[in-house]
Structure 1
Amino acid sequence: MAYVDSDFRAHYFEMLRRKRLYSGIVLAIFVLLLASGFLLANDRNAGGFLQGMPQVLDFPADVVADAAPKVAELPAHLVTYFPALLETVNIAAVSTLAGGVLAIFVSLLSTRGLARFPRPIPVFRRFMDLCRAIPEIVIALILIFVLGGGPVPAMIAIAFHTIGALGKLFSEVNENADLKPVEGLSSVGASWMQRMWLGVVPQVAPNWLSYALLRFEINVRASAILGFVGAGGIGYELKNTMSWGQGKFDEAAAIFILLFLTIVVFDQLSSAVRNRLTHGRAVL
């Protein structure tokens, strides 16, 4: 018995040493890749990162210096740019809704055990990979070239990326659904749509909504960023005010405040709703 225990302990410590060795190798490779990537980017950049560090606070300082004497005009600027903020939120909302609805169908068609046609499952999975692989800004630039500037290219670009992101999350939720209700509905002759609607959706809907709310937060930020390339919304106004430079930084400060407050508000609201859905309580 003592010999067995000694052999077991030796084997355990050998496995522990091997695990630590592998972890150390992986960490070393990660550090080397991080360092080489940083050095490559720094060499290809117009200016050195380390040389530019002393100037990192120059722009915020210029904004504060320009906005401080005009603080009395800040409320008027907030009112002026509030419609642009609403446009940004509308872009994010429509994109999340459209992308989420399409993601539901794609996720159901790409989930093993639930898919209407099992053979094309890899096709739908690769389609979601494609949607996630192409950045929103690339799609938006192409659509702006075709459709012109405005909120429509931003909505399509964000919705396309949302299909891939939410579709992947939804399909993982679907795989954990209990198939017994689906089998029971199938035994009484229910169609595929009826099996999904009555047997799967009630189980996964809270998690779907939770992920959709989280994605909405991300899309608000994305729609603001796409404004810089001419896709409308408050990002477009921010680009204009920053392009003017000194004399317009007070308006840029107002836009920064609107964006910050919007992200905080939606983050808190969606967190409260997600906690209510998943844990039965709201946390603010």
Structure 2
Amino acid sequence: MTDIPFDARAHYVEMTRRKRMYGGIMLAVFVALMVSGFMLADARNAGGFWAGLPNIFGFPADVIADTAPKVDQLPGHLVTYFPALTETLNIAAASTIIGAALGFILSLLSTRGMARWPRLIPVFRRIMDVMRAVPEIVIALILIFVLGGGPVPAMIAIAFHTSGALGKLFSEVNENADLKPIEGLASVGATWGQRMWLGVVPQVAPNYFSYALLRFEINIRASAILGFVGAGGIGYELKNAMSWGQGRFDEAAAIFILLFLTIVVFDQISSHVRNRLAHEGAH
């Protein structure tokens, strides 16, 4: 049997050509989707989408023009809207805590080697898929119709979505946990809850906390956005300030500043904590 010589250079050239071809196809698909999306937006907007693009910076210019003569009033506006910001943070914190607790339970019930009912693992995973798939704003709109406006619908909507998102992340962390402590606890008669609390939680707690902090940042933004549909918080105040139009844009600017500073501060704090957790975990 004659050995066929392997031409490394020809093989490399073929791989490069194939990679470029696939990259070109993906780029063409992406461009086609973008163009079709813009055309659909223009058609839905009665042909005003392309015509309105040159005015995209018109609103920021109006805000700056309206705020500049009243810049001395900004500190007062910051104080006025700070309670609304506190409400937004409370919504984000409560929904993150509730979502993390439910996600923790769902993650344990959907992880092989840890699940209380192994045959139901696919069921719990599909439940988390549904929770992640439904946007917060859709849930909030339904709850506002049923419960009325306010922070409670926003909190429930964000907590529902957070449960699915964190449940998925937590379950991936659980997959890397050592099962020997669980087996040892089972051998001495520990209940399922005791095995999870004593055998799993100590291993995964730093990663859980890191993911929960990251989700808290996301939930701050989500709770502000839900305010636009009547779910309370600083988003609701921003909607009102923008609805009044020119003359109240200085209040909108103050709310923008509050939101920006809050997101930056919490982003820095959570990033610092996550880095410390990762550094301690490495040691």
Partner of 1:162: 162
1:188–1:137 CA distance, 2 compared to 1 (3 A): same
Does 2:38 align with 1:38? yes
Q: How does 1:246-261 map to 2 (within 5 A)?
A: 246-261=246-261
Deviation of the 1:238 alpha carbon: 0.6
Deviation of the 1:273 alpha carbon: 0.5
Asked if structure 1 preserves the Cα contact closer than 8 Å seen for 2:41 and 2:49, the reply is: no
Percent identity between the two aligned chains: 78
Per the alignment, in what secondary structure is the counterpart of residue 247 of structure 1?
coil
1:5–1:207 CA distance, 2 compared to 1 (3 A): farther
Asked if structure 1 preserves the Cα contact closer than 8 Å seen for 2:128 and 2:168, the reply is: yes
Partner of 2:87: 87
1:46–1:136 CA distance, 2 compared to 1 (3 A): farther
Cα distance in 2 for residues equivalent to 1:246 and 1:239: 13
Report the TM-score, using the length of structure 1 for normalisation: 0.92
Cα distance in 1 for residues equivalent to 2:96 and 2:244: 33
Cα distance in 2 for residues equivalent to 1:51 and 1:176: 53
Partner of 1:193: 193
Q: How does 1:82-161 map to 2 (within 5 A)?
A: 82-161=82-161
Q: How does 1:164-243 map to 2 (within 5 A)?
A: 164-243=164-243
Asked if structure 1 preserves the Cα contact closer than 8 Å seen for 2:128 and 2:163, the reply is: yes
Deviation of the 1:5 alpha carbon: 5.3
Partner of 2:267: 267
Unaligned runs of 5+ in 2: none
Cα distance in 2 for residues equivalent to 1:46 and 1:261: 38
Cα distance in 1 for residues equivalent to 2:4 and 2:276: 52
Cα distance in 2 for residues equivalent to 1:151 and 1:274: 28
Unaligned runs of 5+ in 1: none
What is the RMSD computed on CA atoms of the aligned residues?
Answer: 1.8
Deviation of the 1:49 alpha carbon: 3.3
Cα distance in 1 for residues equivalent to 2:253 and 2:29: 42
Deviation of the 1:11 alpha carbon: 4.5
1:113–1:12 CA distance, 2 compared to 1 (3 A): farther
Deviation of the 1:16 alpha carbon: 4.5
Between 1:31-40 and 1:61-70, the stretch displaced more is 31-40
Partner of 2:28: 28
Between 1:80-89 and 1:18-27, the stretch displaced more is 18-27
Per the alignment, in what secondary structure is the counterpart of residue 119 of structure 1?
helix
Amino acid at match of 2:276: R
Deviation of the 1:45 alpha carbon: 2.3
Report the TM-score, using the length of structure 2 for normalisation: 0.93
Deviation of the 1:179 alpha carbon: 1.3
Q: Deviations over 1:97-127 (max 9, x none)?
A: 0011000000110111211101111111111
Cα distance in 2 for residues equivalent to 1:155 and 1:49: 34
Per the alignment, in what secondary structure is the counterpart of residue 118 of structure 2?
coil
Deviation of the 1:46 alpha carbon: 4.0
Amino acid at match of 1:104: F
Deviation of the 1:277 alpha carbon: 0.6
Cα distance in 1 for residues equivalent to 2:255 and 2:16: 54
Between 1:107-116 and 1:178-187, the stretch displaced more is 178-187
Deviation of the 1:187 alpha carbon: 1.9
Amino acid at match of 1:88: T
Amino acid at match of 2:269: L
Asked if structure 1 preserves the Cα contact closer than 8 Å seen for 2:99 and 2:160, the reply is: yes
Cα distance in 1 for residues equivalent to 2:36 and 2:245: 35
Aligned residues: 279
Partner of 1:58: 58
Cα distance in 1 for residues equivalent to 2:35 and 2:47: 18
Q: How does 1:8-27 map to 2 (within 5 A)?
A: 10-11=10-11, 13-27=13-27
Per the alignment, in what secondary structure is the counterpart of residue 119 of structure 2?
coil
Per the alignment, in what secondary structure is the counterpart of residue 232 of structure 1?
coil
